[in-house]
Structure 1
């Protein structure tokens, strides 16, 4: 507890007076620190029923109570009607206090984005769809992105002309996507660079290592690695840092429709090289060849993972979700897009829905979706336990029955649903959950 309070105090001090971003101060942002069982609310104006006073930190009232279903993932979300910064606490507590301070700032900045900068883009359901269909298996797109990433890393190190070369390659790659009728991918990339890149920039302003950022940039997109989401945290943060250099006070220029890329294009004084110059100077032919080989290896890996799901040991489990469940949880570092409507999570995923519905899966999982809803397919070492109220033996339901409240637990699976039904087969379990 003491370490959490210290981290909260430090986060407030770092952001005080808009030191990290003009107008961004934690004093008016509700913060929720939670683990599996308990949550600590800081500065929340209307704590949920059952929460009790727990002192103060940084001059703000704290309340403590049970973790609620909406407290899932690190994000900004409504808690009892109030947009709040949600910060998940590891079971063993924060291993790195400084990193935990920066995580608090990152999630609090999401609240600031949605309240003080509401005209800027947000990650909506269309963005989630594009992310799930991102062309991370396009070797040419990956190769061009690799060039962009390494130019950004060198621009951060002060290399003259690197920022202009980045802009030339970025514009060329985006024009190619438009020619391929994938303009929505361009919009998506720039949206994520704003939504996740600027909170990552806040972390860097708060002391995160810039060389670590440069090293991540040098690895992103190789073989499709982090191509669909995680790399835009860093490309966005890098552009924001470059804007500090080329256009101090650039935040005042933010407006509806503005992108970090457009602001940087206006600010960089050097003339842009031609794309042909960038291609030659960066050794693009060799990078493209490496990406083509990596894509072949990626296809082999995906095929092996799909075989493990189909033929592996243990209990084959399917969880079926209705169409109204749109709150999907995932870890961007363990995500593989296969194609439209299909992606693999190599170790974690889940979903949130109305009525307290929550699904958490800690296993290799195939996610598929369409007009009829969403399906998770995975394997568990043993058959999980299914509870209906006090009955822990109600594994099978009559056909068509929805039953009452449903809880499924065991071996890497947790399901809590207002209603649902189960069917047991030979070494298999199917779960249909409903929101009411």
Structure 2
């Protein structure tokens, strides 16, 4: 028995040593800048699939979303690459190295890359890193937050985005460009609220507990197929939210509403687009979409601890906004045009719906 445990211990040591070696080698390989001056054929193929999803399924995601040409702006550590119907300006150089000549794109030097909507000339583009860049940032970002021992053991494979999720992630940013292009005033005001986000009381225990209760109601409603139960959960959600809001200033209440509109709807769009694509099966480039929202189940589960989501971060508003939007779908309401009006937000439509039932 003692010999067995010695052999087992030696095996564990060897496995851990190999894992540490592999992870350190991968981290070293990711440190040099990604500065290729062109996209590979595979990367261009992914963009083709992104546009296929947006143009063929976009109007089912949101009225008009599939009709609008939205530039896609990708970036690595040195270059921007933009896919657009016309050359943005003289500063952008055409890239013709790829074999795929059906999609034209242009290159420029990176200035301040970000995953969001970015205005290029007079157009709003959905901006995101290349898949290599996104995976590099994700992996190195996680490693930087882990203790030394865990950092060396954290496998690269757990911090990589798959092709199908990558498509949905860029749809998210394209939806931001859609918001900016079609509803500029509301989009602009949503950006302003980030000026006060540092005032938000993320660490207030009473607020955390009430956020958790709100999230529990949203999660229970999403899990239910019974309309009466959904309505009852939403009624409780609103009552708890009103109680919690007594602890907030008007500017912080506005912050919640506007980020739920901005990021909650973009989260809704990415999930809805993926669901629709999964219903079709494989996309171009043999991208395989999986049914059942495989990448979002953990996020949906986090609704039950909504107050504890990413302390000091705004991600709880992504989830609470997304949940409200999906519940409005479940209630089969015609809500999407209404929520784009200047002073109307997701919770307003829910409150109005509940008031009509009473």
TM-score by length of 2: 0.67
Contact 1:3 1:97 in 2 (8 A): no
Secondary structure, counterpart of 2:105 in structure 1: strand
Q: Is the Cα–Cα contact under 8 Å of residues 76 and 133 in structure 2 kept in the other structure? A: no
How does 1:333-352 map onto structure 2 within 5 Å? none
Does the 8 Å CA contact 1:121/1:257 hold for their aligned counterparts? Answer: no
Counterpart of 1:89 (choices 123, 130, 134) is 130
Misfit runs of 4+, over 3 Å: 53-61, 90-95, 121-126, 224-228, 268-272
1:42 maps to 83
Distance 1:189 1:57 in 2: 46
CA distance in 2, matches of 1:106, 1:59: 26
1:156 aligns with 2:222: yes
| 1:93 CA drift (Å) | 6.5
Instruction: Give the aligned partner of residue 199 of structure 1.
Output: 266
CA contact (8 A) 2:41 2:98 kept: no
Q: Tell me by how many angstroms 1:9 deviates.
A: 2.4
Gap regions ≥5 residues in structure 1: 273-436
Indicate if the aligned counterparts of 1:34 and 1:67 stay in contact, CA closer than 8 A: no
Give the root-mean-square deviation of aligned CA atoms.
2.8
User: Are 1:197 and 1:234, in contact at CA under 8 Å, matched by a contact in 2?
Assistant: yes
- The 5 Å alignment of 1:376-391 reads none
Aligned counterpart, 1:52: 94
From 250, 260, 269, the equivalent of 2:335 is 250
Q: Which residue does the alignment assign to 2:194? A: 128
Q: Distance in 2 between matches of 1:36 and 1:147?
A: 42
Residue in structure 2 matched with residue 109 of structure 1 by the alignment: 175
Match of 2:63 in 1: 22
1:67 partnered with 2:109: yes
Query: Do the aligned partners of 1:164 and 1:271 also contact (CA within 8 Å) in 2?
Result: no
Q: 1:153 to 1:67 in 2, by over 3 A?
A: farther
- Check whether the contact 1:35–1:89 (CA below 8 A) recurs between aligned residues: yes
Deviation, structure 1 residue 92: 5.8
**Aligned-residue offset at 1:266:** 1.9
More helix by share: 2
CA contact (8 A) 1:239 1:260 kept: yes
Change (3 A) 1:34 1:121: closer
Q: Equivalents in 2 of 1:45, 1:215: separation in Å?
A: 43
Count of residue correspondences: 266
TM-score when scaled to structure 1? 0.55
Q: Choose which of 298, 301, 326 in structure 2 pairs with 1:215.
A: 301
Offset of residue 22 of structure 1: 0.5
Contact 1:239 1:261 in 2 (8 A): yes
Q: Which runs of 5+ in 2 are unaligned?
A: 1-39, 136-160, 275-292
1:261 to 347, 350, 353: 347
Q: Which residue of 2 aligns with 1:345?
A: none
Contact 2:54/2:66, CA 8 A, preserved across alignment: yes
Q: Which residue of 2 aligns with 1:118?
A: 184
Q: Is the 8 A contact 1:15 1:24 kept in 2?
A: yes
Answer whether contact 1:153 1:218 (CA < 8 A) is retained.
Answer: yes
Q: 1:271 & 1:227 partners in 2: Cα distance? A: 37
1:115/1:250 Cα in 2 relative to 1: closer, same or farther (>3 Å)? same
- Cα offset, 1:79, TM superposition: 2.2
Q: 1:218/1:67 Cα in 2 relative to 1: closer, same or farther (>3 Å)?
A: farther
**Is the 8 Å Cα contact of residues 41 and 99 (structure 2) preserved in structure 1?**
no
CA separation of 1:98 and 1:26: change in aligned 2, threshold 3 A: farther
